[in-house]
Structure formats: structure tokens, C-alpha cells
Amino acid sequence: MTIDLPVIWYLLIGFAVAMYVMMDGFSLGVGILFPFIKGDENRDVMMNTVAPVWDGNQTWMILGGAGLYGAFPLAYSVILPAMYLPLILMLLALIFRGIAFEFRFKSNRSRKWFDLAFSGGAMVATFSQGVVLGGIINGLAVSERAYQGGTFDWFSPFALFTGLALMAGYALLGAGWLIMKTEGDLQKRFYQLARPLTLLLVASMIVISVWTPLSNGRIAERWFTFPNIAWFAPVPILVALLSWSIWNGVTHSHERRLFFKVLGLFFLGLSGLVISFFPLIIPPDITLWDAASARASQSFLIVGYVILVPIVLIYTAYSYYVFRGKVRAGEGYH
Amino acid sequence: MLGFEALDLARFQFAFTVSFHILFPAFSIGLASYLMVLEGLWLKTGNEIYHNLYRFWVRIFAVVFGLGVVSGVVMAYEFGTNWSGFAERAGDITGVLLTYEVLTAFFMEAGFLGIMLFGEGRVSRRLHFSATCLVAVGTLISMTWILMSNSWMQTPAGYEVIDGRFEPSNWLEIMFNPSFPYRIVHMGLAAFISVGFVVGGVGAYHLLRNRRDQAARKMFSMAMWAILVALPVQIIAGDMHGLNTLEHQPAKVAAMEGHWENEPDQKGMPLVLFALPSMNDAANHFELKVPYASSLILTHTLDGKIQGLKDWPRDEWPDVPLVFWSFRIMVGLGMLMLGMGVVGLFLRWRGQLYEARWFQRLALFTTPVGFIALLAGWITTEAGRQPWVVYGMLRTEDAVSMHSVGSMLTTLIGFMVVYAIIFGIGIYYMLRLIRSEPMNMVPSGGPGHERQPKRPMSAADGSFEEQN
């Protein structure tokens, strides 16, 4: 029996993307929540909760991109040019977000500008990522192993909506994270934000779940036929249960569980995508086997991945352990 | 629009973003190794000057590394957004090498940088030194993978072409392709030399302010030794790299030399010192030549021959004036740098190294000279590879993504504006760090030290702006 390497690589890259979405998701969420919180000191605390870890979080995005390049070069070389403008916008926004971390604490007069760079950078980067996701779900025009569509094919009401939806999602992740990492009045503020954000996110997930099969016959067919429907059924049920539990968790002030429940919501959303599209890697036609690089490439690379990623995970867990606990005003890492 | 085609804009955009980016990794590679030496010397000798110098330079390293990270993320995506034809055909090889770079270098650097920058006083000296070494090694590993990839594009090996795509057939041949050993030595030395001139320039600046400053003396002296040793080695390495290029990419060497016609028999090739090469006339104007010198340099004989550009079809010529002049700038600056090393040795012998103000002013003035030579060298080798992206196999025009002129121009302006802003902020802040006294470094992160920096560029305690 030969091992189906492309399927394994699909899961490994999925893992890197999931790590990125969940980890940079809350870092970007902190930036999205900036406008809701007034006061330099509060904003210092918010930034300090992510300051020691944001860089490592972002490295997962590079792993996802580079891994796609090496394991599915066709997907890399179609999705990236198709999403040219939103991706470049995302990269530029991430530059502003990144340098704001470094320079905000050193500035006095221009602190407002670095607040804007941090928060605006996070919002634009998140929105762009959501647009890219929506654009991929909508499908890309591919022929002769190259993208054949136009510069603005990604621009659609659906993609703009997924952009906004992701902003709500990351903001909720950020709120969950900040509830865990802060205390007192500031923490109360995030409890207050958690419920409306949960409503927004769940409403967005419902809209996306209705919109997708309505505009995409193949997905509708996939979802509403037996036995596929049996695979899907748990996803909406679990989403409903988790959201209800998050709603209740706010009442009972579950400081830590809330964040992990929001992570659970994201995980369900991502698994819903995988169930809907597997084995497609570029909707509507290109499968992961079409896009895979040579077996000699995938097997050479997998050795490094399975040895090195566990080491990275151990190191990452350790650094979260070192910086565990509440962050208080005036004791920042800066 | 403006007479540019989308391909020109794509090339210019890549050249702009990669030139901006490469300055910072090159700076990090050299500086990380220098920091490793400083900390090692401090642990070995117990001399506090080394410790002060470490603390002085580690703050600058933090800013440089941070700018390298933010500009590097862009590169990892640009291969796909702008060069999708290349990514699709060569991703089986170059994508794999890039992923290995992420796995072996990026995570390791990010992981140990924190301890290196902020761990003093929290971990043992030995562990801290290990972290410094691992970050230094990480920068070298990173350089290794990306130069493997670049060298493979210059001198492809270990592949088979199947349905127009490059598939790996022998990974060792891919990784250790013919130009890789020369390129990595040449680039590694270039990074060390560039940083040598930065350290020398900063040392000179502080000597000019106070010639008794012990730390300034030490760094100036160390830089001058490094330059003296590295330059001759680099010139030999460059010569060998050139011979390797002559073997595998003769058209590039012809462009570097401004050599159009094959020489008649029994006659050595002259070295063109100055000329204005013209692509239209396929000839040089205003030539200034040294007889036999080119034969001597390139073949190490008096009458050796190399092929002239006219041996290749017109559509396989690189941009001759660009390659010709960038090569001369690199070599010229190399000679200037060698000269400074020799003068430094002479002044040291006469006991004048810390006294000769004119030499210190020269060293201050030439602070960026290594980086300029490094960029000129990269322009020579990359522009000299044209019109190929994978040499002899895949043309650049077949590698580019099909973007419109409008969207290329929009993103190019976006990059230029954003990079100008972050470069401005970064340089402004670095200059502030450089101006601080190297002998007055306060320990950071020790007991009773409240503000614990945890982020690369936040390693410095100082405020970004003057308090007013």
C-alpha cells in the first residue's frame, strides 16, 4: 500500500493554517478591539498581552504559504495572483501592525499614530484575509495550470461579507484572550463585548452557510445528499451548543474556558470548510492531487516537517507558559 | 502607461522589495556573529568592555532583525503573487527549499531571540551564550537555504523537466549545485564585511567624539582587523566565483566585461576599465582598456579567450550597461575597502590608529560602503542572469504573473510609500541608538529592573523620541 502523500500534506498545511488563524487570530483581534477601549494605560495592557508571542504566531502564516508553495505549487501559483490586491494589502497592513508593536512604547508625541498603525493594520489585515477566504470559496478561473481570471474577480458581496465576518470572529477571539489575560474594569469591558460579538459571529456563520450552497450548486448537492449530510450534521449542532455555552459562560464569568470555546468555534468553522471542499484545493475544479508537487518533493519535505514542527510546538508551549497569568498596568514587557 | 510594460514593473517591484529586504538579513548575519564573538570573549576574558559592546550592539541588532522580519514576510508571498509561472514550474524545488528555511531557521531564530535580547539575569551566562550562538547559527542556516534556491536558479542541477515542470531527481545535486559553494562564501563574507564597516564607522564616530573611549577603541580596532583579514579572502573568493560563472553562465561574464566580439587569434583580451556600453550598437563607447588583463583575470593566462556576446542571439543578452556598471561599482568599492584595511594596518603599526582623525572621518564616511557593494554585486548576478529566471531553461517573461500595468503600478507605489515610512522610522531610531555612549550600557532585565523588554525592537530602554 502506498501512502497518499498529497492527502497528508493537505492536512499538514491545514494544520499550519489553523494554527495561524487561531493564534494570530487573537493577536489581530486585540487590535480590532482597540477602538472600543479608551486610555493609554488600558491599551498598553492589551498590547502587552500579545507582545511576547505575536511574532511566533505570524510565523505560522509563513509556514502555511511556503508549505503550499513546496507541496501544492499549483495552488500557490493560482491563489496568490488571483488574490493579488487583497494579499498585498494584507502584507502592507501586517507591516504596520508589526512595527507598531516595536515602536509604540518608545513614542510619546506620535503614540496616536502607532495606535492607528496597530489597530488599522489589524483590521485591514483581517478583512483582507476574510476576502481571500470568500474569494477562494467562490472559486477561481483556472486553465492550463494558471489563473485566467481578472484583477477584481475576488471582489464580490460574498467575499466582502466574509471579510467582515472574520473581523467579528477575530474580535471575539481577542475578547476571549483578553478576558483571560486582564482583570478588573478592563476585563469587564471585554465580558460586555463578548456577547454581541458571539451573536455577530454566529449570525455570520449562518449567513455564510446559507449563502454558500445557494450560490454554489455543487456544494448544495454535496451537503444535502445522504450520507454526506450525516457528516455535516454534527457541525451546526456543535456550533449551536458552543455558542450557547459561550453565552452562559459570560454570566458565570468563566475567565479561561471562554477563550478555548471560541477557539472551538473557529475549529468547527475550519472543519466545516474542509468537509465542504475536500479534496478540492482550488474550487471549483482543482483537487489536491492535481495540485500536488512531485512525490520526491513531498517526501523530502515531510521528513523535516514531522521532526521539526513538534519541536516548534514544544518551544511555543513553553513560551506561553513563561508568559502565563494576568498582565497588569505598568508591568509591561516593553 | 509611461512606456512601462507589466513585466518591467514586476521586475522593478521585485528588485525594489528584495533589495530593501536583503540589507537587513545581511546586517543580521554579520552582527549576530559579531555578538557571538563579543559575548564569547567576555565569558573567556571577563573583560567588561566586551560586555558593554555586546549590550550596545544587541539593541541595534534588535531593530535590524525586526525590519528583516517584516520585509521578509512580503518576499515569501511575492514568489506566488508576482511570479506564478515560476512558482508553478519550479515550486517542487524552490518551494521545498523555502519551507525548509522556515522550519530550520525562522522558528529557531524567533525562539531564541527572546532569550538573547532579554534573558540576561534570568538564565545562566552559559545558556545565554548558547542562545546568542543559536541565533547566529540560525541566520547562517537561513542564508544557506535561500542561497541554495537562488544558486539553483543560476546553475540548475539535479532536476528533470516533466511536462514543462522542474521535478527533483537528486536533492543533493539540487542543494549543492555548481554555483552554490562559491555564492555562499561570497555572500557570507560580504555580510561580515558590510557589518565590519558599520562597526568601524560607529567606532570612528565615538572616537571622533572622545578618543579615549575604551569601547570605541575596541570596536574600531576589531573592525579594522576583520576588514584586513576578510577583504583579501573575499577578493580571492570573488575571483573563483567569477571563474565558476564563466564556466556556467558565460554570457553573464561577457556582459560584466563589456565584451561583444570574439578576439582574433593570438591576441589576449583587454580589460575594459571604463566604457559606455550600448545595446543598440552592440559596442562600447569611450573605452579605456588595459591590454591582456581580462585574459589574465578570467583564464589566468595572457592569451586566453572568452566568448563575446555576439555569440548569443540578441534576445538572450542581459542588460549590458547595468551589469557592466554594477560589477565595476562592486569591484571598485572592494578595492577601496581593501585599501582601508591596509591603511588601518599601517596606522596601527605606527601607533596612530586611534589618533588619525582623517582616517576616522573616512571610516565614518564609508560606513555604508559594504552594503552598497553587496547590492551592486547582487544586481550584477541577478540582472546578469536575465532574460532567464531559471538559467537557460525558463525565461522571465514566461515566469511572470499576468497582472495589468494598473495593478502593478498601484502595488509598487504602495510598497515604496510603506517602505519609505518604516525605513525612515527604523533608521531614525537606529541612529539614536548609535549615538548613545557604548561605555554606559545599563544591564537590562536584571533583578530590580522593572521594565522587562520582550520584543525585538523593544530591547532598548530608551524612548523613541526625546521627552519634551
**Tens digit of each residue's pLDDT (9 = 90 or more) over B234-255:** 999 999 999 999 999 999 999 9
Q: How many Å apart are CA A145 and CA B353, to the nearest integer?
A: 63
Q: What is the pLDDT of residue B452?
A: 42
CB contact under 8 A, A297 and B92: yes
Residues 67-106 of A with CB under 8 A from B: 67-71, 73-74, 76-81, 83-85, 87-89, 91-92, 94-96, 98-99, 101-103, 105-106
Q: What is the pLDDT of residue A1?
A: 54
Nearest Cβ partner of A304 from B90, B94, B100? Answer: B100
Using an 8 Å Cβ cutoff, are A46 and A178 in contact? yes
> What band does A8 get if pLDDT is binned at 50, 70 and 90?
very high
Q: What is the pLDDT of residue B240?
A: 92
A250 part of a folded domain = yes
B410 chain-A contacts, CB cut-off 8 A = 85
3-state helix, strand, coil in chain B (%, to 5): 70, 5, 25
> What band does B358 get if pLDDT is binned at 50, 70 and 90?
very high
Q: Could you tell me the residue range of the domain that residue A317 belongs to?
A: 5-322
Helix (H/G/I), strand (E/B), else coil: B232: helix
Q: Is the pLDDT of residue B126 over 80?
A: yes
Q: How many Å apart are CA B197 and CA B218, to the nearest integer?
A: 14
A109 chain-B contacts, CB cut-off 8 A = 465, 468
Q: What is the pLDDT of residue B91?
A: 93
A300 part of a folded domain = yes
**Which residues does A124 contact at the CB level (< 8 Å), separation at least 6?**
A89, A90, A92, A93
Using an 8 Å Cβ cutoff, are A75 and A67 in contact? no
Q: What is the pLDDT of residue B440?
A: 63
CB contact under 8 A, A91 and B73: yes
Q: What is the pLDDT of residue A89?
A: 94
- Evaluate the omega torsion of the peptide bond into residue B368 and state whether it is cis, within 30 degrees of 0: no
Nearest Cβ partner of A69 from B95, B168, B457? Answer: B95
Q: Is the pLDDT of residue B468 over 50?
A: no
Quick check: ipTM above 0.95? no
Rounded to an integer, the average pLDDT of A193-203 is 92
CB contact under 8 A, B91 and A94: no
Reading the block at residue A49, the C-alpha cell is: 498581552
Rounded to an integer, the average pLDDT of B373-387 is 95
Task: List b or e across B270-307, with b for residues whose CB sees 16 or more CB atoms inside 10 angstroms.
Answer: bbbeebebeeeeeebeeeebeebbbbbbbbeeeebbbe
Q: What is the pLDDT of residue A331?
A: 58
Rounded to an integer, the average pLDDT of B350-370 is 93
Lowest pLDDT segment from A320-334, B174-188, B227-241, B363-377: A320-334
For the stretch B7-20, pLDDT in tens is 889 999 999 999 99
Q: What is the pLDDT of residue B3?
A: 53
Using an 8 Å Cβ cutoff, are A183 and A326 in contact? yes
Q: Is the pLDDT of residue A334 over 60?
A: no
Long-range contacts of A299-302, Cβ-Cβ distance < 8 Å, separation of 24 or more: A299/A5, A300/B96, A300/B168, A300/B171, A301/A67, A301/A70, A301/A71, A301/B96, A301/B99, A301/B100, A302/A5, A302/A8, A302/A9, A302/A12
Q: What is the pLDDT of residue B226?
A: 95
Q: Is the pLDDT of residue A105 over 80?
A: no
Beta bridge partners of B394: B390
> What band does B276 get if pLDDT is binned at 50, 70 and 90?
confident
A203 part of a folded domain = yes
A334 close contact with B: CB closer than 8 A: yes
Under 8 Å CB pairs connecting chains A and B tally to: 237
Q: Where are the alpha helices (DSSP H) in B83-179?
A: 84-101, 107-118, 125-154, 171-175
Q: What is the pLDDT of residue B297?
A: 82
Output the domain CATH number for residue A309. Answer: 1.20.1630
Lowest pLDDT segment from B146-150, B317-321, B401-405: B401-405
Nearest Cβ partner of B84 from A147, A312, A334? Answer: A147
Q: Which helix (H) or strand (E) holds B275?
A: strand B271-278
Task: Tally the domains of chain B.
Answer: 1
Q: Is the pLDDT of residue B456 over 60?
A: no
Nearest Cβ partner of A102 from B401, B455, B465? Answer: B455
**Mean pLDDT for chain A overall:** 88
| Number of other residues whose CB lies within 10 A of the CB of residue A65 | 27
Reading the block at residue B349, the C-alpha cell is: 603599526
Nearest CA in chain B to A98: B70
B276 part of a folded domain = no
- Evaluate the omega torsion of the peptide bond into residue A157 and state whether it is cis, within 30 degrees of 0: no
Q: What is the pLDDT of residue B4?
A: 65
A334 part of a folded domain = no
A327 part of a folded domain = no
Q: What is the pLDDT of residue A44?
A: 86
CB contact under 8 A, A87 and B77: yes
Helix (H/G/I), strand (E/B), else coil: B315: helix
Q: What is the pLDDT of residue B454?
A: 45
A285 part of a folded domain = yes
**Which residues does B179 contact at the CB level (< 8 Å), separation at least 6?**
B151, B154, B155, B241, B244, B245, B248
User: Shortest CA distance to B225 belongs to which of B417, B431, B41?
Assistant: B41
In a mutational test of the B interface, the residue from A54, A102, A132 whose CB has the highest number of chain B CBs within 10 Å is A102
User: What is the least distance, in Å, from the CA of A239 to any CA of chain B?
Assistant: 33
Tell me the three-class secondary structure of chain A, residue by residue: CCCCHHHHHHHHHHHHHHHHHHHHHHHHHHHHCHHHCCCHHHHHHHHHHHCCCHHHHHHHHHHHHHHHHHHCHHHHHHHHHHCHHHHHHHHHHHHHHHHHHHHHHHCCCCHHHHHHHHHHHHHHHHHHHHHHHHHHHHCCCEECCEECCCCCCCCCHHHHHHHHHHHHHHHHHHHHHHHHHCCHHHHHHHHHHHHHHHHHHHHHHHHHHHHHHHHCHHHHHHHCCCCHHHHHCHHHHHHHHHHHHHHHHHHCCCCCHHHHHHHHHHHHHHHHHHHHHCCEEECCCEEHHHHCCCHHHHHHHHHHHHHHHHHHHHHHHHHHHHCCCCCCCCCCCC
Reading the block at residue A222, the C-alpha cell is: 454535496
CB contact under 8 A, A98 and B101: no
Task: Tally the domains of chain A.
Answer: 1
User: What is the least distance, in Å, from the CA of A184 to any CA of chain B?
Assistant: 22
Helix (H/G/I), strand (E/B), else coil: B388: strand
For the stretch A141-192, pLDDT in tens is 888 888 888 888 888 999 999 999 999 999 999 999 999 999 889 999 999 9
Q: Is the pLDDT of residue B309 over 50?
A: yes
Q: How many Å apart are CA A26 and CA A14, to the nearest integer?
A: 18
User: What is the least distance, in Å, from the CA of B14 to any CA of chain A?
Assistant: 13
Q: Could you tell me the residue range of the domain that residue B339 belongs to?
A: 7-244+318-459
A302 close contact with B: CB closer than 8 A: no
Q: What is the pLDDT of residue B18?
A: 94
B161 part of a folded domain = yes
Counting residues of chain A whose pLDDT is more than 70, the rounded percentage is 98
Q: How far is CA B440 from CA B49, B216, B437, in A?
A: 10, 12, 6
Nearest CA in chain A to B96: A70
Q: Is the pLDDT of residue B451 over 70?
A: no
Report the alpha-carbon angle B460-B35-B444, nearest 5: 30
| Number of other residues whose CB lies within 10 A of the CB of residue B101 | 21
Q: How many Å apart are CA B375 and CA B26, to the nearest integer?
A: 10
Q: Which helix (H) or strand (E) holds B286?
A: strand B283-290
A272 part of a folded domain = yes
**Which residues does B329 contact at the CB level (< 8 Å), separation at least 6?**
B372, B373, B376
Q: What is the pLDDT of residue B376?
A: 97
In a mutational test of the A interface, the residue from B99, B161, B170 whose CB has the highest number of chain A CBs within 10 Å is B99
Q: How far is CA B422 from CA B42, B52, B63, B371, in A?
A: 34, 28, 11, 19
In a mutational test of the B interface, the residue from A44, A60, A297 whose CB has the highest number of chain B CBs within 10 Å is A297
Lowest pLDDT segment from A262-276, B280-294, B447-461: B447-461
CB contact under 8 A, B102 and A63: yes
Q: Is the pLDDT of residue A330 over 70?
A: no
B310 part of a folded domain = no
CB contact under 8 A, A92 and B414: yes
Helix (H/G/I), strand (E/B), else coil: B276: strand
**Which residues does A127 contact at the CB level (< 8 Å), separation at least 6?**
A163, A164, A166, A167
A114 part of a folded domain = yes
B55 part of a folded domain = yes
